[in-house]
Chain A
Amino acid sequence: QVTLRESGPALVKPTQTLTLTCTFSGFSLSTSRMCVTWIRQPPGKALEWLARIDWDDDKYYSTSLKTRLTISKDTSKNQVVLTMTNMDPVDTATYYCARIRSGSYFFDSWGQGTLVTVSS
């Protein structure tokens, strides 16, 4: 059974750097074709794809946010970390991680999400 769980601060101040961790089980990021992606959703708004990391450490970022995002993995801990710099109130959102398998390009398992509020 595949599970993913997001963790991180519920509140960050403007200009700070956000660090979120996705801890997963039921698969390994050292297995070929396995990937983890981050997605966010501002309150009342649409989902937005942010970044993806693959089993071979290839990394991909949203065109509009790539200067602020860094994704990394710790295969031994079954974790993926997303950092977002220079946080702004418009970055207030629920942040989800999800599994994706390279070549299928869909999100087959989702975490429950974690709400991050950006406010001074």
Chain B
Amino acid sequence: QTVVTQEPSFSVSPGGTVTLTCGLSSGSVSTNSFPSWYQQTPGQAPRTLIYTTNTLSSGVPDRFSGSILGNKAALTITGAQADDESDYYCVLYMGSGISLFGGGTKLTVL
């Protein structure tokens, strides 16, 4: 069974740049996977950040960006801020109506 992989945790300094990735246990991620990214803070519903690889959701600061890096989808935060400390989830479309979440990355800003 295919698994969507994410780094369990990552750390970035305030003002720094960090790239989180989203891969597949077998195969490559491409734009045909329609990767999307969500931010979640404790006790809150997820917030949509990026969709169809690199489209910024309404109201999301442009320090967030999405791309394909090699065989993975990537979320880059440029100029990280303290309130970017959250859990980040990617979702890939697997075809036949099915979507899969990654295991999430816990981002620490310190």
Checking A49, A54, A111, A112 against B99 with a beta-carbon cut-off of 8 angstroms, the contacting residue is A49
Q: Is B64 an interface residue (CB 8 A)?
A: no
Q: Is A60 an interface residue (CB 8 A)?
A: yes
Q: Collect the chain A residues with CB atoms within 8 Å of residue B46's CB.
A: 47, 96, 107, 110
Query: Contact flags (1/0) for A86-114 with B, using CB distance below 8 Å?
Result: 00000000001000000011111011110
Q: Is B100 an interface residue (CB 8 A)?
A: yes
Main SS at interface, chain B: strand
Asked if A46 contacts B102 (CB within 8 A), the reply is: yes
Nearest chain-A residue to B99 (Cβ)? A49
A8 to B5, CA, bound (A): 32
Q: Which of A9-49 contact B (CB under 8 A)?
A: 37, 39, 46-49
A37 to B93, CA, bound (A): 13
Asked if B91 contacts A49 (CB within 8 A), the reply is: yes
Q: Is B26 an interface residue (CB 8 A)?
A: no
Q: Is B78 an interface residue (CB 8 A)?
A: no
Chain A positions within 8 Å of B, measured between CB atoms, are 37, 39, 46-49, 52, 54, 58-60, 62-64, 96, 104-108, 110-113
